[in-house]
């Protein structure tokens, strides 16, 4: 696989799919179908508004996860953006440089054709941008299996992200790597899932006291989850932090080096400078 510093990533989000799947994950199976008409007709209704808020998607967690694989060269989200349930995310997505692709359903209960449009765009991008190394598909529908297979045949590393319990096993199997949205760093497990089982380590929220600490915490979690090892090269973590927040500068925060910045946050990370390279890992109570 291409080295991380040369990795170029394309991200495709079937946003309707993720929103509906997470709503069902939070409120129970088929909840979105039961509430659909109420959501369409009166999303401002206090009861519906509360249920939508409880099932809010963490857009940043998805984009940050994709960024951990390399430089994002394009990110597209497919949905009916005139729908209130999707419209609330528009400013967040635009702020993260996500292109919003407008799709309209053919009828009140019809699919909006996101899978077809997304697949056509993705394959076209494979040929239009031959330097793409990674394709991240955020969806759970088995309709995306042929797309994942085609991207792999075209030499791309395919990453899938879907909501637990709503993702086709065949899609997960078709990807080089597949992760549950529930388990992305920064995403809190839904209440029901917390009742069913103790939260997994990767579901832990960053509880850092300031933005710089939160950034360090998230970057370490992403690197640790990706490589499945505790100790990470400090340079790799710093590179990821710069991709997560290009404005980050340890010197602007008053530190002479990145190692000094990390050592100033012992509640977040441990540092090992005994070897030729500086290694860091999450503090013991965060692992």
| pLDDT tens for each residue of 249-272 | 898 889 999 999 999 999 999 999
| pLDDT tens for each residue of 10-54 | 999 999 999 999 999 999 999 999 998 888 888 888 999 999 999
Distance CA 198, CA 203 (A): 10
Residue 131: the pLDDT is 95
Contact partners, residue 227, CB within 8 Å, separation at least 6: none
**Two tokens, residue 97:** 């440089």
How do beta strands 134-138 and 8-14 pair?
Answer: parallel
Residue 3: the pLDDT is 52
Residue 59's pLDDT band (boundaries 50, 70, 90)?
A: very high
Average pLDDT score over the chain: 87
Domain 4-203 has CATH 3.40.50.10890: no
Distance CA 105, CA 103 (A): 7
Domain 211-286 has CATH 3.40.30.10: no
pLDDT at 246 over 70: yes
Whether 126 contacts 132, CB under 8 Å:
yes
Distances (CA, A) of 54 to 22, 26, 178: 10, 7, 25
**Two tokens, residue 92:** 């967040």
Residue 273: the pLDDT is 94
Considering only residues 39 and 137, tell me which one the structure prediction assigns the higher pLDDT.
137
Q: Which of 52-61, 144-153, 205-214, 261-270 has the lowest mean pLDDT?
A: 205-214
Q: What is the pTM of this model?
A: 0.79
How do beta strands 71-79 and 99-102 pair?
Answer: parallel
Q: Is the dihedral of CA 26, 55, 68, 75 positive or negative?
A: positive
**Can you give the residue ranges of every domain in the chain?**
4-203, 211-286
Whether 81 contacts 90, CB under 8 Å:
yes
């Amino acid at each position: 696989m291409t080295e991380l510093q040369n990795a170029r990533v394309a991200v495709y989000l079937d946003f309707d799919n993720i929103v509906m799947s997470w709503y069902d994950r939070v409120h129970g199976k088929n909840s979105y179908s039961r509430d659909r008409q109420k959501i369409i007709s009166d999303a401002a209704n206090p009861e519906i508004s509360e249920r939508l808020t409880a099932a809010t998607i963490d857009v940043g967690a998805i984009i940050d996860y994709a960024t951990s694989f390399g430089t994002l060269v394009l990110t597209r989200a497919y949905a009916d953006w005139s729908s209130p349930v999707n419209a609330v995310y528009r400013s967040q997505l635009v702020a993260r440089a996500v292109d919003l692709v407008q799709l309209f359903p053919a009828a009140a209960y019809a699919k909006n054709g996101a899978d077809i449009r997304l697949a056509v765009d993705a394959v076209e991008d494979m040929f239009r941008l031959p330097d793409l190394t990674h394709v991240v598909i955020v969806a759970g529908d088995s309709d995306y299996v042929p797309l994942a297979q085609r991207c792999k045949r075209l030499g791309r590393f395919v990453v899938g992200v879907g909501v637990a319990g709503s993702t086709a096993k065949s899609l997960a199997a078709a990807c080089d790597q597949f992760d549950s949205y529930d388990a992305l760093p920064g995403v809190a497990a839904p209440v029901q899932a917390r009742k069913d089982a103790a939260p997994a380590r990767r579901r832990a929220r960053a509880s850092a006291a300031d933005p710089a600490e939160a950034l360090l915490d998230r970057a370490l979690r992403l690197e640790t989850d990706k490589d499945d090892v505790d100790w990470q090269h400090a340079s790799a973590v710093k590179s990821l932090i710069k991709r997560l927040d290009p404005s980050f500068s340890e010197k602007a925060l008053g530190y002479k080096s990145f190692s000094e910045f990390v050592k100033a946050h012992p509640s977040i990370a441990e540092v090992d400078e005994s070897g030729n390279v500086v290694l860091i890992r999450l503090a013991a109570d965060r692992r």
